[in-house]
Amino acid sequence: MKIHPNSLYQEMQSLAVEATRNTIKTNEVAVQKTAATSSAQFGDLLSDAINTVNGLQKDAKSKATALEMGDRSVSLAEVMIASQKSSVAFEATVQVRNKLVESYKEIMNMPV
């Protein structure tokens, strides 16, 4: 089976547009959820964020496994997009954790 470069490029563009739409929808839902739960505990919000990252990682892994097993319903582009989404989400979570630890250390070093 020969893949035409233009069709692959068009598929990648359509997946990029779809990913952008999904990200915008996810961000809108997150903003609405945050506004609705402004009195929620910080720990609950952090837990939800970690669970979201975990879900993205599981999705990326399942798509990669499906592609490796020869499932034709999953394209390489979908796998790469899911992988990058989970990677970006994980990196953002690590950065938030680093800032929290840094803030905690700063507070602990304050004189009483």
The answer to whether residue 82 scores a pLDDT higher than 90 is: yes
Instruction: Write out pLDDT tens, residues 35-71.
Output: 555 556 877 888 888 999 999 999 999 999 999 999 8
pLDDT digits (tens, 9 = 90+) for 20-38: 776 666 666 655 665 555 5
Block residue for tokens 């994980």: 90
CB 82 within 8 A of CB 65: no
C-alpha of 59 from chain center: 10
Residue 59 contacts residue 82 (beta carbons within 8 Å) = yes
pLDDT at 18: 75
Confidence of residue 79 (pLDDT cuts 50, 70, 90): very high
Domains of the chain by residue range? 5-108
Asked if 52 and 89 count as a contact pair (C-beta separation under 8 A), the reply is yes
